[in-house]
Amino acid sequence: MQRPARATIADVARVAGVSKATVSRFLNHRDRLLSDDIAARVEAAVAQLAYTPSPMAQALSHGRSRLIGLIVADITNPYSVAVLRGAEKACQDAGYLVMLFNLGNDIDREREAIDALAGYQVDGFILNTLGRGTGLIDAEALRGKPAVLVDRRHAGMHTDFVSLDNAAAMQLACGHLVEGGHRELLYVTEPQKGVSSRRERTAAFGACVQSQGPRVSGMVFECEADDAAGLDAALQGLHQRARRARRRAAVLAGNAVVTLRVAAAMARLGLQFGSDLGFVGFDDPEWAPLIGPGLSAIAQPTEAIGRSAATCLLERLKGLEGPARQLLLPGELVVRGSSAPAS
Amino acid sequence: MQRPARATIADVARVAGVSKATVSRFLNHRDRLLSDDIAARVEAAVAQLAYTPSPMAQALSHGRSRLIGLIVADITNPYSVAVLRGAEKACQDAGYLVMLFNLGNDIDREREAIDALAGYQVDGFILNTLGRGTGLIDAEALRGKPAVLVDRRHAGMHTDFVSLDNAAAMQLACGHLVEGGHRELLYVTEPQKGVSSRRERTAAFGACVQSQGPRVSGMVFECEADDAAGLDAALQGLHQRARRARRRAAVLAGNAVVTLRVAAAMARLGLQFGSDLGFVGFDDPEWAPLIGPGLSAIAQPTEAIGRSAATCLLERLKGLEGPARQLLLPGELVVRGSSAPAS
DNA sequence: TTGTATGCGTTATCAT
DNA sequence: ATGATAACGCATACAA
């Protein structure tokens, strides 16, 4: 009744009439130390039994699991999924498997996630988490395994880091809006808390407005998830202020979640993107072209970010030493109706 | 320099002054077979060393890994992500960890995925794949491990199956549209190929139209990803036919991907949801309220589907025998502007 | 009730 | 160049 258990190295050895050690050598050091006839016999036996090494046993013995632990703050976030996709592909191509742990936005589970993954002897970590909360991830927790941070830096951790070039991207967005005649800018972001990417973008927004001199004015609104009224008021205020001053106004959204909230608020207020209020949002979700006249966006190279993160990690696994690296990838401005120049 | 490797059972045994077997017993059969003083000593040692068993070693020795393999056809699909979320939560609550394998829509990698996961001794599988292509998943491939299918059945596999109640959901949608005065119905689906859920929905659509008698007419359009022109023609035709016959027409979309394509086509044609063409789509993505007057939708209980799938599997892992079960969960109709009754 | 010995499937260190 | 053999960390028959 029981399916024949998968062949082990011992089975192969028996069939080939050699020792386990020889089989192991054939598998791992195929190049050196091998007589032709024996190699052929082992190869035949492997093929005949459809033998595949047990990664678990290899991990136990050799210490390496060929597993990469990927921790995501919130799998619901399409950004995270896109990054995951890129990372997974790169890992698979390199013969690694990705173990995913989703925090479900419960920041206090970071430590739990690390421990669970470390238990399975993952060779390294890709982290897209907040780096805050009870179980702060420190170098200790990683048990010496290499890690790479994505999108969000962690206080006091100097590991490799991959992310969008937030400053340049913000400049792209602001420059485009100002060129299009927008003079009142409102940047809407999720509460910054300690999240590095949010802080960087907000700071970059300030710098951009500053650099435009007095002709452009900018404000920042931190938008709590449950504060629809506050967002409505902010947008309404922006719109009326601009009308009184006979200036064009525009909204910048810090990510796709905020874009969604802004779009909902615009609908509630009966305002039109493009004509009433200009708009550019970070992230370029698939539905962006379908809202109103189409939402202009800063598209992140998410796939490349994921791939780069994985590559960084794989290099470290190959023994690359040296100081922590920073990879800042450029965003791309996608212009649609919401930021059309003066009508 | 090397971090002190994590404590092993041998370390605990030494500190507690007992044998490894005793420690193991304390951990696994805490209830029976234990003298109080020894139990206390072991407990203290475990705490002192912050000992955690190595899941890998446990898997190798005991045969169980407390790992669940989750294979997804396309992680980009929000439906899959939502299911994943529910399943992951249920698994984690039960002390299992989920290993994710994303096929990236490459159906020929099903077998590869199973093998990779099986290599890590996963205790069971949750499958959200097509069940077609080169490496068809059969009972053999699973190596006797239990599995549960989500959303899509596989030909010739009688395992537990969890999904939306497609027939009932389609009835809900059609009934609502007909009640609202729509008489010309067009169902747009991705090419059915062998995908069971697509076939079921298409069949259910036919049955619904049939049951309405001659007053309602229905058509099906299979929408290839690259055939924007074909979709445009279908929608245009539907609209004009209805106008000539002075009847209201409506579109049903088979899933969120199709909804996106239909929305893009509507924009290209300059048609308005609600006034020009009614609309109800399967799946209720977060952006549905923001397109035009809001898109009506059949919301799937995705989280519950994932949770149920995990629960089914966990029950099998606990030894539940018996024939394959089917869990059909009801969808919920969310009415928005796109299906508003006659204006 | 507790300790001893063995096996799980590999890799690596020794001999040969 | 190849073959024994000892780890790796744990669970479990079996012996005491």
The residue-averaged pLDDT of B311-332 equals: 95
| pLDDT value at residue A143 | 75
In terms of DSSP bridges, do strands A97-102 and A67-72 run parallel, antiparallel, or are they unpaired? Answer: parallel
* Spatial CA neighbour of B249 closest among B222, B225, B272: B272
User: Is pLDDT larger for residue B201 or for residue A318?
Assistant: B201
Dihedral of CA atoms B303, B304, B306, B312 in degrees, nearest 10, equals 160
The whole-angstrom distance between B212's CA and the closest CA on chain A is: 33
Ranges of chain A whose pLDDT falls below 50:
1-3
| pLDDT value at residue A1 | 32
> Is residue B95 classed exposed, middle or buried when 0-12, 13-18 and 19+ CB atoms within 10 A define those classes?
exposed
Nearest chain B residue (CA) to A264: B290
Q: Residue A189: beta bridge partners?
A: A222
- Name residues 16-75 of chain A with a Cβ under 7 Å from nucleic strand C: 20-21, 24, 27-28, 51-54, 57-58, 60-62
Could you tell me the distance in Å between the CA of residue B116 and the C1' of nucleotide C13? 30
| pLDDT value at residue B3 | 44
Q: What is the DSSP letter of A289?
A: G
Nearest chain B residue (CA) to A118: B54
Q: Among all strands, which nt has the closest C1' to A60 (CA)?
A: D8
| pLDDT value at residue A105 | 85
How many CB atoms lie under 10 A from the CB of residue A246? 7
Q: Indicate the residue of A115, A140, A263 with minimum beta-carbon distance to B52.
A: A115
Contacts of B72 in chain A (CB under 8 A): none
pTM here is: 0.91
User: Could you give the C-alpha distances from B268 to A263, B219, B262, B272, B273, in angstroms and in order?
Assistant: 21, 22, 10, 10, 13
Measured distance CA(B186)–CA(B208) in Å, rounded: 12
Measured distance CA(A222)–CA(A186) in Å, rounded: 10
Interface test with B, best of A100, A101, A279 (most B CBs within 10 A): A100
* Amino acid at residue number B99: M
The whole-angstrom distance between B214's CA and the closest CA on chain A is: 35
In SS3 terms, A112-178 reads as: HHHHHHHHCCCCEEEEECCCCCCCCCCCCCCCCCCEEEECCCCCCCCCEEEEECHHHHHHHHHHHHH
Q: Among all strands, which nt has the closest C1' to A13 (CA)?
A: D3
CB contact under 8 A, A102 and B119: no
B166-300+332-339 has the same fold as B67-164+303-329: yes
Nearest chain B residue (CA) to A294: B267
pLDDT at B96 over 90: yes
Share of chain B above pLDDT 90, in %: 76
Strand D nucleotides where any atom sits below 7 Å of a protein CB: 1-13
Which segments of chain A are extended strands (E)?
67-72, 97-102, 124-128, 147-150, 160-164, 182-189, 217-222, 248-253, 278-282, 296-299, 326-329, 332-334
Q: Indicate the residue of B53, B60, B102 with minimum beta-carbon distance to A57.
A: B60
For chain A, how long is the longest CA-to-CA vector? 91
The whole-angstrom distance between A280's CA and the closest CA on chain B is: 16
In a 3-state reduction of DSSP, which class is residue A204? helix
> Using an 8 Å Cβ cutoff, are A179 and A216 in contact?
no
CATH number of A166-300+332-339: 3.40.50.2300
Q: Is the CB of B54 under 7 A from strand C?
A: no
Contacts of B228 in chain A (CB under 8 A): none
Nearest chain B residue (CA) to A122: B56
Nearest chain B residue (CA) to A286: B260
Residues with CB under 7 A from strand D: A 17-22, 25, 32-35, 37-39, 57, 60-61; B 5, 8-10, 20-21, 24-25, 27-28, 51-54, 57-58, 60-62
The residue-averaged pLDDT of B268-285 equals: 97
pLDDT at B25 over 70: yes
Nearest chain B residue (CA) to A69: B99
Strand C nucleotides where any atom sits below 7 Å of a protein CB: 1-5, 7-13
Could you tell me the distance in Å between the CA of residue A232 and the C1' of nucleotide C16? 83
CB contact under 8 A, A98 and B100: yes
Q: Indicate the residue of B60, B75, B286 with minimum beta-carbon distance to A60.
A: B60
A152-156: long-range contacts, CB 8 A cutoff, minimum separation 24: A152/A73, A152/A128, A152/A195, A152/A196, A152/A197, A153/A196, A154/A127, A154/A129, A155/A131, A155/A194
Contacts of A104 in chain B (CB under 8 A): 85, 89
| pLDDT value at residue A194 | 86
CB contact under 8 A, B285 and A287: yes
User: Is pLDDT larger for residue B342 or for residue A290?
Assistant: A290
* Residues A94-141 pLDDT 10s: 999 999 899 988 888 888 888 889 999 999 999 998 877 655 666 666
CB contact under 8 A, A52 and B99: no
Which pLDDT band, with edges at 50, 70 and 90, does B54 fall under? very high
Which pLDDT band, with edges at 50, 70 and 90, does B2 fall under? very low
> Using an 8 Å Cβ cutoff, are A26 and A34 in contact?
yes
Q: What is the DSSP letter of B273?
A: B
Contacts of B67 in chain A (CB under 8 A): 120
The whole-angstrom distance between B41's CA and the closest CA on chain A is: 24
CB contact under 8 A, B100 and A100: yes
| pLDDT value at residue B111 | 85
Domain residue spans of chain B:
9-53, 67-164+303-329, 166-300+332-339
Report the CATH fold assignment for A67-164+303-329. Answer: Rossmann fold (3.40.50)
For chain B, how long is the longest CA-to-CA vector? 91
Instruction: Give residue B274's region: left, alpha or beta (phi > 0; psi -120 to 50).
Output: left
The whole-angstrom distance between B143's CA and the closest CA on chain A is: 6
Contacts of A289 in chain B (CB under 8 A): 264, 267
Could you tell me the distance in Å between the CA of residue B84 and the C1' of nucleotide C6? 41
Kindly report which amino acid residue has its CA closest to the C1' atom of nucleotide D6: A61
Contacts of A52 in chain B (CB under 8 A): 115, 119
Residues in chain A: 343
Mean pLDDT of chain B: 92
Q: Indicate the residue of B2, B88, B144 with minimum beta-carbon distance to A2.
A: B144
Count CB pairs under 8 A between chains A and B.
113
Nearest chain A residue (CA) to B5: A143
pLDDT at B136 over 80: no
CB contact under 8 A, B56 and A65: yes
CB contact under 8 A, B143 and A267: no
* Residues A247-278 pLDDT 10s: 999 999 999 999 999 999 999 999 999 999 99
| pLDDT value at residue A3 | 45
